[in-house]
Chains A and B, each alone.
Chain A
Amino acid sequence: MTTLTALTPRLRLARFRDLTLVPVIVLLLIVGAFLDPIFLTTGNLTNVLQQQASISLLVLAEALILISGKFDLSLESTVGMAPAIAVMLVIPASAGGFGLGLPGMLVIPLCLLVGAAVGAFNGFLIIKFQLSAFIVTLAMLIIVHGLQLGPTEGKTLFELPESILYLGSATWLGLPASIWIAGLLFVAGIVGLGYFRVGRSLYAIGGNPDAARAAGIRIDRVLWGVFIVGGMLAALAGVLETGRLGAIGSGQGVGWIFMVFAAAVIGGVSMDGGKGTILGALTGVLVIGLVQNILTLKGVSGFWQPVVYGFIILVALMISRVAGGKAQD
């Protein structure tokens, strides 16, 4: 068993693989502090976290789905569509709603319900109908966005009920509520996937579905649940974003999915399933948020920023390739 003893030191290291981005974050903090005195202030860092709160929920959702070996592109469309539809069910026709007169308190539950429905429909097509997750959710990305554009006719919704604005704009114990919410959900994700059977079953399903089935895991049920949770997290991200901006534009969430994948993958979540942690995904979000902030502080033109993001992703991939030591596929 000589091969095993030789392997052991590297394996111990591998346990910290989901923390490979921590030095990168430290480096970014140091670089940022040197580049701009405002950077390391509480106000600025809070701002970074608040801006990343809603996209981080999408990263959390995508990480759950990727770990289970599936794929969801449609999350970004739910970010705009779920709150828009929920709001329209509540506000009067004069403000651009359906005029159903439902109580304003219901807007968040309705929004989550819409998100869950999108997730459930994705799950139905992918699990029961056994279609390719990539193509199904690509189509759903277009359909769900269309379901926002159609009823709103592309217009921005301004007259929103108070209840949907609260979470995205309130401050709890000195920090924006959205940071608390995202933080708590990430803690729940870390604990759920690290210490509970259901959470571990995502890894089993993503790693080897046949083996998971043989071990008595109800694959279909778990996967369906993951898609529904994913849809609900996307809807909640929409609520936070709506509260932060105070309106629902037709472009809310559009284009996020690339950043979401980038954050998840540089955070160590494998596109092949079965690998990665929620903590790792969180570090991915933070890296992207810090880079974004530094670029903005330094006045880098918004038109040039995508080039920088793209390179950051490639560099992060190279770092994790070198740290992980294995070919990525």
Chain B
Amino acid sequence: MKTHVEARNVVKRFGPTVALNGASIAIAEGETHALLGRNGAGKSTLVSILTGLQRPDEGEVLFSGEAAPAPADRDAWRRQVACVYQKPTIIPTLTVAENLFLNRQTDSGMIKWRALRAKARELLATYEVDVDAEALAGDLDVEQRQLVEIARALSFGARFIILDEPTARLDGPAIERLFVRMRALREQGVTMMYISHHLDEVYEICQSVTVFRDARHVMTRPVDGLPHDDLVAAMTGEATVAYESRSRTPGEKVVLSSAGLTLAGRYQDVDLSVRSGEVVGLAGSASSGKVGVAETLVGLRKADSGTVVVNGARVKPGDVPAALKAGLGFVPEDRHHEGFAPLLSVGENATIPIARKLGRFGTVSPAKRRAKAVQLIQDLDIKTEGPDQPVGDLSGGNAQKVVFARALVDEPTALVVINPTAGVDVKAKQALLGAVEDAVERGAGAVVVSDELDDLRICDRVLVMFHGRVVKDVPRGWTDHELVAVMEGIQP
């Protein structure tokens, strides 16, 4: 098979850090090629080099055996390679139509808006994207926005697409629809590079896989017949076993419960109860209302009716401090948004909930805080220069550990975690799930809300939500198929 895209011995430095150290990749024409690696392995840098946004310090990029276009010639690059970046590259304040033809609304002279909208509708129809061309891009949901970006990427005539963690923010059915689309593109002969933290997706959609570790190329293999453990070992550099959830017997005491929780348009009549020493999962599609319920439990949202009880005490609705005081700890859905203050240090972020215990009369003793932070860094194995490093400088997995540290610092008796392992690599994932189980072994009760089936495996039972209602209580021992069927509402 012919090689479509090749990067040879690429070196890229950013100041003292070497992001790519003689890394290479070769992607055959028409294949879907996975690029795997832990956070910081150099995947994102390779993407920006393959798309021409950054120039390699050494090495070269070839498309179909020919040298890559000049860095300034964006149009030439866009005819070679299209990319759906991790960060949305859409202008939220402009319409879908204008986003599709950004900076090429017209060849010369005045823009003919009517013609542009017609062209946009045609383009959306060609790629079967069911989105209104006149809608503001900022009003689209994640999936629609991604489809618009894919349509735009392809409209330049590129036969090679990079998809950088496209599934990170999609729910199950949306991922399935994306895969259907990717298979259709592959049948049309489009070459793809697929980046993901989800190994099962790689097995499902890719033919070959390349693994990067520590800014270098480690291996390239066909996916078919490649043992799962070998792949993980290549990524981590050591043999690791898949996460084994522990067995335990829940206690009798109910630490967190809700009765008749209802929030119009999101969820209705949610009753749940979590006992000490028990992990309860909350699963469902993005529209199921599971995140809404979890956010209500911790006080980020206020339900229209119903009650939340933490440790036998009724908590004032919509009041986070009251929930924390009652003994609750939580990990929010989006760590960048509600999880940490990026400029504050690891130590400060982790100890915010217990600031009152670290000094008197509103003061915070730096020495006490430091001691506590050092202990948390050890407990959770946070890779940091020390408690004074700003959290914004940490990798995704380590930043999430800081969010966990904050949730766990006050030894909560009830723990609510939402998408605990979103955007973190294999090893961090295991550490984070371990931290939940550790807390539960110490006697806490936990609610795990997640789109990841792997996260739900640590649960003693999983409540499945569908259209705002809890439809089934699934005990441990479910199969993927079984759970997904309930989540999709295919099976009661």
Contacts and interface: CB of A to CB of B under 8 A. Distances in A.
Interface of A: 1, 3-4, 7-8, 11-12, 14, 191, 194-197, 200-201, 203-204, 206-208, 210-217, 270, 274-275
B105 A8 contact: no
A204 B93 CA distance: 8
B90 A208 contact: yes
A211 B90 contact: yes
A4 B91 contact: no
A207 B78 CA distance: 21
B482 interface: no
B102 A215 contact: yes
Nearest to B74: A216
24 contacts: A1-B144, A4-B130, A4-B144, A14-B136, A195-B110, A195-B111, A195-B113, A196-B110, A196-B111, A197-B106, A197-B111, A200-B111, A203-B93, A204-B102, A206-B93, A207-B91, A207-B94, A208-B89, A208-B91, A210-B87, A213-B53, A214-B51, A217-B103, A274-B93
Nearest to A208: B91
A206 B85 CA distance: 19
B252 interface: no
Contact of A4 (B51, B98, B104, B131): B131
A3 B135 CA distance: 12
Interface of B: 51, 53, 74-75, 78, 85, 87-94, 98, 102-106, 110-111, 113, 130-132, 134-136, 139, 141, 144
B200 to A, nearest CB: 28
Contacts of B93: 203, 206-207, 270, 274-275
Contact of B135 (A11, A191, A210): A11
A211 B139 contact: no
B89 A216 contact: no
B363 to A, nearest CB: 32
A213 B87 CA distance: 13
A211 B87 CA distance: 9
Given A4-B135, A14-B136, A200-B105, 12 more contacts: A1-B131, A3-B141, A7-B135, A197-B105, A201-B103, A203-B93, A204-B94, A211-B89, A211-B102, A216-B74, A274-B94, A275-B93
Contacts of B113: 195
A196 B104 CA distance: 10
Contacts of B94: 200, 203-204, 207, 274
Nearest to B134: A11
A128 B402 CA distance: 36
A12 B78 CA distance: 32
Nearest to B110: A195
Contacts of B92: 207-208, 274
Contacts of B74: 215-216
A212 B91 contact: yes
Which of B87, B91, B98 has the most A CB atoms < 10 Å from its CB?
B91
B161 to A, nearest CB: 14
